[in-house]
Amino acid sequence: MNRSENGQIPFGMILLLAFVLLSVSGFLVFNIAVPKSTTMTSIGKKSVYRLFGEHTSNMGYVFEQGGSIPVLNGTVQILGPNNTVLDIVSFDKNENIFFLRIPENGTGLAHIDAPGYYRLTTRLTNNGFYKLGKSGTFSGQVRGYEFVLQGRKLPDPKPLPGATLEIRSANGWKRTITADQEGRFSAEIPPMQFSVIVRSDTHANAYFDDLTAIKGETLGRDFILPAGCILEGFAIGDGVTLEGAEVKVVNAMLDNSEATAGPRGKFNIPGLSEGMATVQIKYPGYQEYSWQIIIPGDKIGIRKPFSLMPAQPFVLNIQSANGLPMGDAMVRLRREGRTIHHSKASEFTNLNILQSGATYYFDITANRKNEAPLLTTGQVFTMPEEGPGEFTILLDKEPGTFSGRVSNVNGMFLPGVVLNIKAIVADESARAPLRRVLSDAGGVYQSDYFAPGKYSIQATHPQWGENVVIGEITPGKTTELWISLIPR
């Protein structure tokens, strides 16, 4: 070993040795850690896990799935709330190592992409080893027809810039991509059967299945969307038009098209797909209501009035275990499987939109400073047929969390496993929307908070299979589950 003239090791060499020792120690901790069986541990007053990640530096290594071949020339997209991209870090053609720092508003999640490999979405961990699977390429162009007057020649379909494609593989992997200014798209996807929903704000959506991607090959497909139908509607109240009414149209294609009524209560929603659709309208002081209508496939548009009835007063009281009001709690109001409204509890006092005689389900989240939030889901309330209504919800149980590790049948821990967690309830309408959790480089997963009760946890991975386990949240505890995936 070279030494300086005074016999001491150069400072640069000391730094290099320290870096190597830290990396090796991180690797050993990662490999020696033994997963626990199903156990309960106390959460206490502080969160055992920061849902939105740590404001810390991270280092990662990227390899090919099932081997030690380094993956080069890729990117890491650091995600924030609602999957917004906060930053992009590259690892170049010479190294499969990346260095990054999670921003303060980062979730700890990231997309890892590289040419020839399908995207891995995972939770970041320092000194993590991430494995990418070989892909097939799915590419093409999205175009759309336009309505023309009867007797005129139908023009060639035009490119639809900004069209989105929701790709879902048979094993649960999914990704949404956006077409460029010429309607063209390209994506690396798992080599297996998949389906795609093609959406456009100006045209009817379309669904395509029985598509198959092959490893190392390109599947080219062009999609042409129908022009779609325009719904021109009028929101009408008790002898008045309802300017500002909120309108949503939902159909089998899950268009989820939304609009706000303008002057004279008029609204326009273009590009609706042919078939049955539900029109949902709400306006403060009037009973929210849903209509079933038929969207034609051979007309440029339809025109309909929608009349709402005045609502009765409704009071919502949310209280803590010691009887204190919790007006800042967030409330999700659901009916017949659809979200009707989402806002603070204090806003319900003057909202008055509940339909007389209708049954609703309330999901409540009340945040507390330096403590876990209080939660409850599927609280049932039926508005009286006549007169006002009042509903009091008591938040008196501490929440819990799920954590653990996911492996394949050979005991190898897996990053990027998707865990879909949903409550087990007798009344399907009372079930809150499922929530997704991702495993990190060591196969470790950690959920956010759940209300006490039993839950179904479906773990899936594009290459290694899936498994479904049942877990129970006990107030104030973390339930630890080790899940082994079963090959398909």
The domain of 372 spans 314-395
What b-and-e string marks burial along 397-433, b requiring 16 or more CB atoms within 10 Å of the CB?
bbbbbbbbbbbbeeeebbbbbbbbbebeeeeeebbbe
Residue 32 belongs to some domain of the structure:
no
Residue 167 belongs to some domain of the structure:
yes
Question: Is residue 215 located within the same domain as residue 235?
Answer: no
Question: Is residue 415 located within the same domain as residue 357?
Answer: no
Distance CA 276, CA 293 (A): 6
Question: Hunting for tokens 């989240």 — which residue is that?
Answer: 365
Residue 19 belongs to some domain of the structure:
no
Tens digits of per-residue pLDDT, 102-125? 888 888 889 999 999 999 999 888
CB 486 within 8 A of CB 465: yes
Distance CA 365, CA 379 (A): 12
Residue that is last in its domain, among 395, 430, 451? 395
CATH code of residue 323: 2.60.40.1120
DSSP annotation of 252: T
Residue 31 belongs to some domain of the structure:
no
Burial (CB < 10 A; 0-12, 13-18, 19+), residue 346, is: middle
Residue that is last in its domain, among 331, 366, 395? 395
Of 444, 441, 438, residue with least CA distance to 421: 438
Tens digits of per-residue pLDDT, 459-483? 999 888 899 999 999 999 999 999 9
CATH code of residue 444: 2.60.40.180
Question: Is residue 240 located within the same domain as residue 212?
Answer: no
State the pLDDT at residue 62.
92
CB 353 within 8 A of CB 282: yes
CB 450 within 8 A of CB 473: yes
Question: Is residue 429 located within the same domain as residue 377?
Answer: no
Q: What are phi and psi of 294, to 5 degrees?
A: -105, 125
Question: Is residue 141 located within the same domain as residue 216?
Answer: yes
Q: How many distinct structural domains can be found in the chain?
A: 5
Residue 15 belongs to some domain of the structure:
no
Residue 8 belongs to some domain of the structure:
no
Q: DSSP string of 443-471? A: SEEE---B-SEEEEEEEEETTTEEEEEEE
Residue that is last in its domain, among 277, 307, 337? 307
DSSP annotation of 239: S
**Which residue(s) pair with 122 in the sheet?**
110
Q: What is the mean pLDDT of each run of 10 residues along the chain (488 residues)?
A: 46 44 39 38 40 57 86 92 90 80 85 94 87 95 85 86 93 91 96 93 89 95 92 96 96 79 95 92 97 90 96 94 90 91 88 95 91 91 96 94 95 92 88 90 93 95 91 95 92
CATH code of residue 91: 2.60.40.10
Distance CA 71, CA 92 (A): 10
Q: How far apart are the first and last CA of the chain?
A: 53
Residue 421 belongs to some domain of the structure:
yes
Question: Is residue 146 located within the same domain as residue 179?
Answer: yes
